[in-house]
Structure 1
Amino acid sequence: MGIQFGQEREKSYGAVIINEKKEFLLIRHKNGGHWDFPKGHKEAGESSKETALREVLEETGLTVRLIEGFKEKSRYSPKPGVEKTVTFYLGFSMGEVQIQEEEILDFEYLTYDEAKARITFKESKSIIASAKQFIDTYLQSNED
């Protein structure tokens, strides 16, 4: 389905986060109860990566070290007349999760298979598959 005349475009930025055990962090959003990655809207003057890092910090309390070379986009229509594009980066978590209780119900670190099964939306299932492939290649090429 193509873009319709007068359709609103919305953009968000987020990150796929893994820990030292190569487990993926998922958060459960209060708005809708869906399981997904941390993400949100850009504030004035921010770059895409700065937005992703800020949103992760706000929603999870985590500082993240982004891995260069991973950038995936997801496009979908959350409601009639709106096309949303979410750009995801990939990074390693540093610290302990402290969820933002106003927006987030829960969080969990899961293996790839568990996370892919838990994710609510098919667009994010595609993102985690790309992230898994990227991280496996990245870790193989950076072994001592």
Structure 2
Amino acid sequence: MANYIGWIRSKVGKEHIFTNFAGAIITNERGEILLQKRRDNGQWGFPGGAMELGESAEDTVKREVMEETGYAVEIRYLQGVYTRYDYTYPNGDSAQTMLTAFVCRITGGEPLTENEETRELRFFAPESAPPLFNRQNVDMLADFREGRKGVYR
């Protein structure tokens, strides 16, 4: 089912719900990480998005990265599973977000300049990353910097 979040929100409104996401820490040959300046809140974060019914976390991260960055990626390893986070979206929707994070590398595609989800894409040294938009992304970055893999929170 395409747009699962829209469908479930049509049933429950802005109520607090579980949502499932997959995200990518994309690295380049210099060890820099790709961040996306989001259109919805103007803040930086890792590319990723909501799972649709019938998708795996792997399918989701590859689809979302392509939609938000223009890049095709290959998963290198599981960074972690981040499950104890609450978030209220700019439109007032509330959720406990559960995210499966992968470290990936680019295998093809061309970077987007911008679209409905992305204002800007930029590579940063991990220690020089700008502030990230939510605690999940902050924890993902900290775990990546520290070399932790297979994290669960």
TM-score by length of 2: 0.74
Amino acid at match of 1:25: L
1 CA distance for matches of 2:31 and 2:39?
26
1:114 to 125, 128, 136: 128
Letter in 2 for 1:58: E
- 1:126-141 alignment to 2 at 5 Å? 126-134=139-147
- Two-structure CA RMSD over aligned residues (Å): 2.3
Following TM superposition, by how much is the alpha carbon of 1:128 offset from its aligned partner in structure 2, in angstroms? 1.1
Task: Return the structure number with greater strand share.
Answer: 2
1:104 to 118, 143, 151: 118
- Cross-structure match for 1:142: none
Q: Which amino acid aligns with 1:109?
A: F
- 1:65 is aligned to 2:74: yes
How much identity, in percent, do the aligned residues show? 27
Deviation at 1:34, TM superposition (A): 1.4
Counterpart of 1:29 in structure 2: which amino acid? R
CA shift at 1:99, angstroms?
Answer: 4.5
| Bigger fraction of residues in helix | 1
Per-residue deviation, residues 9-53 of structure 1 (Å, max 9, x unmatched): 111111111111100000011101110011111123211111011
TM-score calculated relative to the size of structure 1: 0.78
1:59 and 1:131 map into 2 onto residues whose CA distance is: 21
Aligned to 2:26: 17
- DSSP 3-state at the match of 1:55: helix
**Unaligned runs of at least 5 residues, structure 1:** 1-5, 138-144
CA contact (8 A) 1:72 1:89 kept: no
- 5+ unaligned residues in a row in structure 2: which ranges? 1-14
Q: Runs ≥4 in structure 1, deviation > 6 angstroms?
A: none
Give the structure 1 partner of residue 86 of structure 2. 77
3-state DSSP of counterpart to 1:118: coil
Query: Structure 1 pair 99/73, CA: closer, same or farther in 2 (3 Å)?
Result: farther
Selected match of 2:103 from 87, 90, 98 = 90
2:136 to 110, 116, 123: 123
Cα distance in 2 between the residues matched to 1:37 and 1:75: 18
Contact 2:44 2:132 in 1 (8 A): yes
Which shows bigger deviation, 57-66 or 120-129?
A: 120-129
- The letter for the 2-side match of 1:17 is I
Aligned equivalents of 1:98, 1:124: Cα separation in 2: 21
Alpha-carbon contact 1:74-1:124 (below 8 Å) kept: no
Tell which deviates more after alignment, 63-72 or 26-35: 63-72
> 1:118 Cα deviation (Å)?
3.3
